[in-house]
Structures are given as structure tokens and as C-alpha cells.
Amino acid sequence: MKIGIVCYPTFGGSGVVATELGLELSKRGHEIHFITYSQPVRLELLSNNVHFHEVHVPEYPLFHYQPYELALSSKLVDMVQLHGIELLHVHYAIPHAYAAYMAQQMLLDKGIMVPIVTTLHGTDITLVGSHPFYKPAVTFSINKSDAVTSVSESLKKDTMRLFDIKKDIYVVPNFIDLDKHVNEFTDCQRAMMAEDDEFIITHISNMREVKQIPDVVKIFYNIQKALPAKLMLVGEGPEKKKAEILVEELGIGDKVVFFGNSNQIDRILCFSDLFLLPSQTESFGLAALEAMASGVPVISTNTGGLPEVNTDGYSGYLSDVNAVADMSANAIKILKDAATLKTFKANAKAQSKKFDIHNIVPQYEAIYQETLNKF
């Protein structure tokens, strides 16, 4: 199939999933066209059947807001015609599903039929999409998509609860390429980051408020009071400054490493012992899955889709949002005994295998085929 993929090219779960999906589909023989405003961060290799088309938005001083949706839908129309794209898969409803629908209508006018598959990722529904200013447009674009998928059962329920949805939503969980997370039989250059007796605790996110960055620091503060430990904070975002201030206030500056955005999270996870994800809400928690794939147990909240990813008492522990004391105690419970840590690490790895890319991507292919057959 010739598939056009629209996503946010930045660091963030939806863009990562879309990029990894496109790359895997290309390996399975499909021709993939990424259509975004810049090259997706994880799209390192452009091969014969992977293409990238940049959406340009010309600046014009009259506009207070530049019309990105218009530029995107025009680009979609052009690319579908030029490359014979058969199906558009848009990740994140806002504004991608809306722009794709406009493109579909423009193409219909030219006698070209292109179905749209929309994947809902979370914040497009829970945090942004349900805002009254966006809700009518988001409801409309979801209902007008030819197929809709959601990354967890929890997100599907939220979508049904928050919007007047008239179609079925397929749940296709996020996935992981286990080959990229092989860390057995290597020391992962751990000695670069910590002393032999120190545990390495990691958090990766785009450091927005929803990630509860102060809780990450507080949990680590409690851990390092009980056990020797270092904290790796990976990512950039509006809450990073708060974390830097809190780290200084708590006097743990020498135990915390701020990495910034990284394209090498598999290397960081390779030497990690525990992953913290105390989010306020999380439709899936791709970062937790990436950690588990590297054999790193997860201390997370029990919100949204996280219980579908992290199993309490097996691959890690789940606690209520803001239950810092509980999350700290759970972390210490895993770390303080070598045999327990070893078991949790093995369990985390085993749990991640449920989300093997080779089992999940065919589910998308089946949806594409079914959608094309109906169209």
C-alpha cells in the first residue's frame, strides 16, 4: 500500500509511534510518505520506500495565527495526487484529522477517493480536544474519519464519554521494537553515570505539567535517603525549571543529571534500574513501555491506560496520582533486595513482549485493508 502518515514530528509519544509505525510498515513492503512540518525526530533513515514531505506555512503579517491546517490539507492533496497515496493515517486528532477531512473533500472534487484512518493518542482527547473551543471540530473530524483507533481501552472509554462519537473505535495498543532494546550481557557503560553501589533511577518525558515532574524529584529524594542512587532526568519542557529549583532546594544537585532531549534513550535505559512515571493522566505511557523493554521496572500512577501497560506487583507498582510516599515506598521495596530487583527486571522485560511491534503493526495493516475494502 502507499500510505501517507501525518504526525507531530517532535519529541512526544504520538510522533514516536507514528514514525516507528511508518518505518516498520516500510520494512513490510509498503510505501510510506511522512507529511509533517519538519522531519520526525526518530526518522533517521530515508530509504527507497520512506519519503518525507515538508509542510511549509508561509508567514504573512496580516495573520495573527498562520493557517497551518490549510497548508497541511493543501500539501496532502498535492502529495496524494503526485505519489498515488491510497490511504492517509493521521496521528493526533488536532488538527490532523480535521485537515485530512478537508483534503479528502478536495480530492473527491477531483474524483480521487482516499480514506482516512485517525489514531487518537490521549492529549488530543483528554487535555486539549475536549476543551469547548475545540470540541465541535474534534467530534466532527473523528466521526468523519473512515476508521478510528485508540492506543488503549481507557482512551477509547474517555473518547466515548467526552464526545458524541457515532462510530466504533478499534483499540490498537502502542508497540515496541524489542530488537532496539537489547541490554542483556552488556554493562551498558553504567560506570560513566554512577558508582557500582548506586541505583540509577530514570524519568523521560516532555516535562509538561501532566507529567508531575515535582513528584519525580520528591520520589527520588525519598529513595536516595534510603539507598545510594542517582536520578537521570531526560527531556525538555516547561516544568524543567521547576525540577532544577526543587533539586537545588532539596540539596541533591550532585545526584541528579539533566540530559535534555535525547535520541539515545535506549542507551540511557540500558543502565537504568527503575523508571518513574507519576503522571496525572496518561492514555498509554509509551515511555514506560520503552523502559520495560529495556528490562527496567516502572513505578507509575494508576491513571488512564497505565494499568494496561504496567502490572501492579509484577512489572512495577501502580499508585494514586500524587501518592509520593506510596510510590517512594514501592521503589525502595523493589531496589532494596537484589533478588527482588532481578525478578522485577525480568518481569518488566516479559511484560513488554505483549506489545511486540511484529504483533501490533499487522493490526494496523488489517484496519487499512478493511477500510480500503469498504471505501
Rounded to a whole number of angstroms, the minimum distance from the CB of residue 304 to ligand GMT is 6
With 0-12 / 13-18 / 19 or more C-beta atoms within 10 angstroms meaning exposed / middle / buried, residue 242 is: middle
Q: Which among 105, 107, 340 has a CA at the least distance from the CA of 227?
A: 340
Rounded to a whole number of angstroms, the minimum distance from the CB of residue 139 to ligand GMT is 19
Nearer to ligand GMT, 123 or 347 (CB): 123
Nearer to ligand GMT, 107 or 287 (CB): 287
Nearer to ligand GMT, 236 or 365 (CB): 236
Rounded to a whole number of angstroms, the minimum distance from the CB of residue 7 to ligand GMT is 9
Q: Which residues contact 67 (CB under 8 A, 6 or more apart)?
A: 57
Nearer to ligand GMT, 177 or 198 (CB): 177
Rounded to a whole number of angstroms, the minimum distance from the CB of residue 128 to ligand GMT is 9
108-126: burial string, b at 16+ Cβ within 10 Å, e else: eeeeeebbbbbbbbbbbbb
Rounded to a whole number of angstroms, the minimum distance from the CB of residue 205 to ligand GMT is 6
Rounded CA separation 11/3 (Å): 22
Rounded to a whole number of angstroms, the minimum distance from the CB of residue 298 to ligand GMT is 13
Rounded to a whole number of angstroms, the minimum distance from the CB of residue 91 to ligand GMT is 8
Nearer to ligand GMT, 138 or 210 (CB): 210
Nearer to ligand GMT, 139 or 283 (CB): 283
With contact defined as beta carbons under 8 Å apart, do 98 and 137 qualify? yes
**274-277 sheet: strands from edge to edge:** 256-260, 229-234, 199-204, 274-277, 298-301, 316-319
Q: Binding residues for ligand GMT, per CB under 6 A?
A: 12-15, 17, 92, 121-123, 151, 174, 206, 208, 210, 281-286
Q: Which residues contact 318 (CB under 8 A, 6 or more apart)?
A: 300, 301, 302, 306, 307, 310, 312
With contact defined as beta carbons under 8 Å apart, do 37 and 54 qualify? yes
Q: Which among 149, 124, 123, 150 has a CA at the least distance from the CA of 308?
A: 150
